[in-house]
Structure formats: structure tokens, C-alpha cells
Amino acid sequence: METNSILLAFLLTMIAGLSTGVGSLIAFFAKRTNTKFLSAALGFSAGVMVYISFMELMPEAVGMLGQQMSARMSHITMLLAFFAGTSFIALIDFLIPEDENPHEVHRVEELADRQRLRRTGVMLALAISIHNFPEGLATFASALGNLDVAIPIVIAIAIHNIPEGIAVSVPIYQATGSRKKAFWYSLLSGMAEPVGALIGFLFLLPFWTPLIHALLLAFVSGIMVFISFDELLPGAEKYGHHHYGIGGVITGMAVMAFSLLLFL
């Protein structure tokens, strides 16, 4: 791998992580949540990630594996890595209590009234960091490839992190009374993504081969599909704007499809 590609991947991962700070600012200055926009945005993110996973990353993984094994074994190996990715993120999701789970998305005004969400900043930041680790690895791994695939993924993860930032900052503000502290905790929780990418990269670097790269692509696909079905789509639906959410999904898929056609 070239140094420039690695540095760019880290930069894009950091941009995605920083978007939690945007969610924190929205929580402080917006009196009410624009639920129609949020439903459409979450649906858009899901559409982008699902389309890329099934139409780009998984076929690319099969193609790379096919250079080293039979067509049947390459598909079997890809599927094993894919479901390992879904199992990994599902296990992390299961281990984090619902009250401390930043992916349990709520409205700004709803969060302000939820006394049970008050937690100490350190414990909440730890839970968020653990949850964001695989997302950082997913963003980084996708960014190691072509930019036409990486940039839409980064945008989708960034949109996904905005309501996460809202869910993180308000409980911390309730616990400490400090908007500055709540903002920085929210922002630092997003920084768990580039840290996760760095740790994952350093762990895999000594063993990096085309086979590892292919397995990682399939593994990342599993993570992104799980995030889409477990977090983004339910988040889009919970506000009661079904057609906005579905419209966002279709729009995300269409934008991704046409952007990939431009590079054929």
C-alpha cells in the first residue's frame, strides 16, 4: 500500500468521526429536530452503504479471492468474512447497555427530558469508543480503495454520526451542566473512529496481503449492512416519516449507482 493512500484513508476516517461534533452543536442550538430531514438523511446513508456493500465491496472481495482459489471457495470465503463482520458488530451492540448506546437515536427535545440517560462522561465515552471502533475500521478499509467508493461511504458514515452526536452530548450536558464539556466529549467520542482505524491497521499491517485485503472488504461489508438494518433504517422509521426514509434509501442507491457509472 502506498503511503499517500494510507494517509488519505486516515484523513477521511477522521472527517467522518468529526461529524459527531456537528450533532452536538445541533443538540445545543436546535429547539426541535427536523425529523423529516433526519429520516431522509438516515435512509440515504443506509441506501449508500447497502448498495456499496452488495454491488461493489463484496464483488471486489470475490474477485480478489478468485485469484487465489476456486470460484466456489472464493464465494464461500467471502460469505464467511461477511457474516463474521455482522456478528462482530452485533456482539458489540449487544454488550453495550441500551441506555449508554449512542446508536439509540432520539429527538433533541426527547433527550432533554430523559433523566435516566444521565451518565458520567467517562463511562459514556468509553461505551461510545467501543461501539465506534468497528465503524472506524470500516471507513478506513473502504477508503483504502478507490475514491469513488470511499467518499460516499465517508459521507454516509458522517450523516450517521450526526444523530449519534446528539444522543451523546445531551446526556453529558445534563450530567455536568457544561456545554463545552458535552461538546468535547461528543467530539472525542467520534475520534474513536480514526483511533479504531489506526489500531486495526497496525494490527493487520504485519500480515497484510491481498488475501487479508479481500477478507477485510467482505468483513467491512458485513459491518455496514448491519449498521444499515439495525440502526439507520429503524432510526429513519421511528420518526413516523416512512416515505421520507424509503425515499432516502432509493436516492442513496441511485446516487451511488450513477457515481460508480461515471468511473466505468
Tens digit of each residue's pLDDT (9 = 90 or more) over 245-254? 899 899 989 9
Whether 262 has a pLDDT exceeding 80, the answer reads no
Whether 214 has a pLDDT exceeding 80, the answer reads yes
Local confidence band at 124 (pLDDT 50, 70, 90 cut-offs):
low
- pLDDT score at 249: 93
Sign of the alpha-carbon dihedral angle for 58, 62, 65, 70: positive
Whether 142 has a pLDDT exceeding 80, the answer reads no
Task: Quote the percentage of the chain above a pLDDT of 70.
Answer: 75
Binding residues: 132, 135, 160-161, 164, 193
Binding residues for Fe(2+): 132, 135, 161, 164, 193
Contact 139, 16 (CB under 8 A): yes
Q: Which amino acid is at 251?
A: T
- pLDDT score at 190: 80
Whether 80 has a pLDDT exceeding 90, the answer reads yes
- pLDDT score at 20: 78
Task: Quote the percentage of the chain above a pLDDT of 90.
Answer: 16
Binding residues for Zn(2+): 135, 160, 164
